[in-house]
Structure formats: structure tokens, C-alpha cells
């Protein structure tokens, strides 16, 4: 099997050697393109977010107008006021449908490309106050398990350094000795 596969492996290696430089150039070009594209994509995403916020604001305004028209129609009882209330309710439905549309992602695609580039959003946490961060997860079972694993590693390293001296054992631990044949 290995002998049958050897010519194919050699061919694959030759292809990789032949196209290594062009692939590296393409990688560099893609990196530079994405660096130049990022500010435009950010501005476009900000514009799309602002449009979505405006649709939400318009829906809130339409809700206030529909409520005011409904109250006016109840108080006056005129046919014209009822018609105004119905129209305001229709406008409210249209505005709510527009506001419910999800925010589109900013994308750009070249004329000869079948793939689009867009911004990828990654959410992550950064510790700004160690004490508060540790207190907020002090009762979490996963954090306790991870802390115990690290504490056990540290205590085991200390046990090796002090050769199991029980006087130097940290609180909550016990130095033990295990002998295994080698």
C-alpha cells in the first residue's frame, strides 16, 4: 500500500513546492485587501445599524400617533376620527414590520468573485479587576474545579521541592508519597 501511494505523495509534494510562492503571494494580497476593506465595512455596518435604529424610532413614533388617534376617536366618536385611527393603526403595522427586519451585514463582493467579504464580530471578556472577576465566579462549579486543578498542581510542585515535608504543606492539602517501580 505504501509503495502504491509513494508516486502520488511525490506528485503532491512537487505541486506544493511549485505553487508555494504564488500561494504565499495570494495570502499576503488577501491580508492587505482585508486591512484596507475593514474601515469601509465598519462605516457601512454603522450606516446599516443607524438605519435600523431609525426604523425603530419611526415605529415608536407611529405607535404614539396611533395611540393618540385611538384616544381621540374614543373621545370624539366622529367618523373622521375613527378613519384617522384606522390609518394610524395601518401605519403602525407597516412601521413595526420595517423595524422588525434584522439588521443586514455589511458585505462587499468583487465582480469576478463568488465570495463576499464582511466583518466578523467576536465578543469576549477582558479582566479589568481581578478581585471582582474572581468574586463574581467564586461559586461557579467549573471555576472551582479549574481552580482546584491548578492549586493541586502548585501544591504537588511544592511537595516535590520540599520533598514532602509536612511542615511546609499548604492548608487544605496533604502531602502524600507514592512509589512506583521503574
Tell if the pTM clears 0.95, that is, is over it: no
pLDDT band for position 182 (cuts 50, 70, 90): low
How deeply is 123 buried, as exposed, middle or buried, from its count of CB atoms within 10 A (0-12, 13-18, 19+)?
A: exposed
Q: For the chain, what is the domain count?
A: 2
Give the tens place of pLDDT for each residue, 91-149.
Answer: 999 999 998 988 888 888 877 778 888 878 788 889 899 889 888 998 999 999 999 99
Task: Let me know whether 51 and 104 are in one domain.
Answer: yes
Task: Let me know whether 137 and 84 are in one domain.
Answer: no
Question: Which residue, 73, 95, 118, sits at the end of a domain?
Answer: 118
DSSP 162: T
Task: Let me know whether 112 and 46 are in one domain.
Answer: yes
Q: Which domain holds residue 6?
A: 2-118
Per DSSP, the three-state class of 129 is coil
170 contacts 155 by C-beta, under 8 angstroms = yes
Task: Let me know whether 23 and 92 are in one domain.
Answer: yes
Amino acid at each position: 500500500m505504501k509503495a502504491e501511494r509513494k508516486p502520488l505523495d511525490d506528485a503532491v509534494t512537487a505541486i506544493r513546492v511549485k505553487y508555494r510562492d504564488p500561494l504565499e503571494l495570494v495570502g499576503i494580497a488577501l491580508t492587505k485587501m482585508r486591512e484596507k476593506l475593514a474601515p469601509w465595512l465598519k462605516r457601512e455596518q454603522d450606516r446599516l445599524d443607524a438605519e435600523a435604529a431609525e426604523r425603530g424610532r419611526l415605529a415608536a413614533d407611529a405607535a404614539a400617533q396611533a395611540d393618540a388617534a385611538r384616544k381621540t376617536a374614543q373621545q370624539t366618536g366622529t367618523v373622521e376620527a375613527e378613519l384617522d385611527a384606522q390609518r394610524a393603526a395601518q401605519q403602525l403595522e407597516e412601521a413595526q414590520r420595517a423595524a422588525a427586519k434584522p439588521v443586514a451585514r455589511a458585505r462587499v463582493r468583487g465582480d469576478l468573485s463568488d465570495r463576499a467579504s464582511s466583518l466578523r464580530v467576536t465578543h469576549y471578556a477582558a479582566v479589568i479587576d481581578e478581585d471582582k472577576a474572581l468574586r463574581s465566579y467564586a461559586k461557579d462549579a467549573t471555576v472551582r474545579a479549574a481552580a482546584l486543578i491548578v492549586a493541586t498542581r502548585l501544591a504537588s510542585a511544592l511537595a516535590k521541592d520540599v520533598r514532602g515535608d509536612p511542615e511546609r504543606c499548604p492548608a487544605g492539602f496533604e502531602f502524600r508519597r507514592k512509589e512506583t517501580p521503574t
